[in-house]
Amino acid sequence: MDSKEYDLGQIDIAWCPGCGNYAILNSLKQVIAELKISPQQLVVVSGIGQAAKIPQYFKTHYFNGLHGRSLPPATGIKAANPNLTVIAESGDGDMYGEGGNHFIHAIRRNPDITNIVHNNMVYGLTKGQASPTSETGFKTPIQINGVMLNPFNPISIAIALDASFVARVFAGDIKETKKIIKKAIQHKGYALVDIFQPCVTFNKINTYDWFKEHTYYLDSKYDVTNRIDAFKKSIEQNKLPLGIFYLNKNKKTFEQNLKTYKQNKKPLYKRQIKMDRIVKLIN
């Protein structure tokens, strides 16, 4: 399939010129085309923020819900119809701040969804306040003396919760970003792809160059199944590792665990009400 199949034609995009979101959008379109996922089969669930606007800009079903609340509806959608490919996508503020509790429990539930987080370490839509992943000392119109809170480490949290797929990429490297998003979508179970992405308007510290200087790729010898090593890698500070940190293929997905689909694979909308059983139950 050609990624053009997902184009909407002339559309008005609300992102700033040079924003990392463009690269992520293009990578995503190419990946789903390569995976031959038809637009009718894909549901992108997002919250609120600049990143959360992504499903507006290509051909797909979408559920653009509330700030911080993309994972619960994504879980509900996948459970109601496991035949759909479901991606939950939003920014760092949405996913790790407002939606922090859902982030934790979605990992525990392990639905077969891909969780893409545009992590630019700053709030874009509300104009430049600190995000949960902002580095300490980062100055903003609200944090005038610099951020005092320690940054949220989504990778460590995900590994601590034994998430079934944990990866981090840099939007500036389209090739690697594509490769990992592709693996994440193919993965059976919850897959986190945290994407480092510069905010050209509100984050003058963590720029394209900064990310290039402060990141490196996990090498081919690195064992993605070793949770302890993965955790060690996740807390490295000076240079931030990129790539797949951790993979646990032994976990059953939420949908696989549901008794509803043990014998009958039909999505819920294709099923009938069991009136005869209700009669039996009442008597």
- Does 252 bind other proteins (CB under 8 A)? Our answer is no
- Does 277 bind other proteins (CB under 8 A)? Our answer is yes
- Does 76 bind other proteins (CB under 8 A)? Our answer is yes
- Does 215 bind other proteins (CB under 8 A)? Our answer is no
The candidate with the shortest Cα–Cα distance to 96, out of 142, 43, 49, 58, is 49
Between residues 8 and 235, which has the closer beta carbon with respect to other proteins? 8
Q: Is 10 exposed, middle or buried (0-12, 13-18, 19+ CB in 10 A)?
A: exposed
Applying CB under 8 A, which part among 101-109, 135-143, 155-163, 215-223 lies near other proteins? Answer: 101-109
- Does 74 bind other proteins (CB under 8 A)? Our answer is yes
- Does 105 bind other proteins (CB under 8 A)? Our answer is yes
- Does 148 bind other proteins (CB under 8 A)? Our answer is no
Q: Is 268 exposed, middle or buried (0-12, 13-18, 19+ CB in 10 A)?
A: exposed
| Binding-site member from 91, 162, 260, 265 for other proteins (CB under 8 A) | 260
- Does 259 bind other proteins (CB under 8 A)? Our answer is yes
* Gap between the Cα atoms of 98 and 128, Å rounded: 16
Between residues 56 and 153, which has the closer beta carbon with respect to other proteins? 56
Which position has the token pair 């500070």? 237
Between residues 249 and 274, which has the closer beta carbon with respect to other proteins? 274
Torsion of CA 210, 229, 103, 29, to 10 degrees: 60
- Does 256 bind other proteins (CB under 8 A)? Our answer is no
- Does 151 bind other proteins (CB under 8 A)? Our answer is no
Helix (H, G, I), strand (E, B) or coil at 17: coil
| 15 half-sphere exposure, CB direction, 13 A CA radius | 22
Measured from the Cβ of residue 26, the count of other Cβ atoms closer than 10 Å reads 16
| Binding-site member from 2, 101, 141, 226 for other proteins (CB under 8 A) | 101
Applying CB under 8 A, which part among 148-156, 167-175, 234-242, 266-274 lies near other proteins? Answer: 266-274
The candidate with the shortest Cα–Cα distance to 50, out of 93, 102, 96, 12, is 93
Q: How remote is the C-alpha of 187 from its chain's centroid?
A: 13
- Does 77 bind other proteins (CB under 8 A)? Our answer is yes
Please give the residues from 8 up to 67 whose contact with other proteins meets the rule CB under 8 A. 39-41, 43, 45, 48, 53, 55-56, 59-66
How wide is the angle at C-alpha 215 spanned by C-alphas 213 and 220, nearest 5°?
Answer: 135
| Binding-site member from 102, 178, 182, 233 for other proteins (CB under 8 A) | 102
Contact present, 143 and 129 (Cβ < 8 Å): yes
Q: How remote is the C-alpha of 75 from its chain's centroid?
A: 13
CB of 73 vs other proteins, minimal distance in Å: 3
Residues that bind other proteins (CB under 8 A): 39-41, 43, 45, 48, 53, 55-56, 59-66, 69, 71-81, 83-84, 101-102, 104-105, 109, 258-260, 264, 267-269, 271, 273-275, 277-279, 281-283
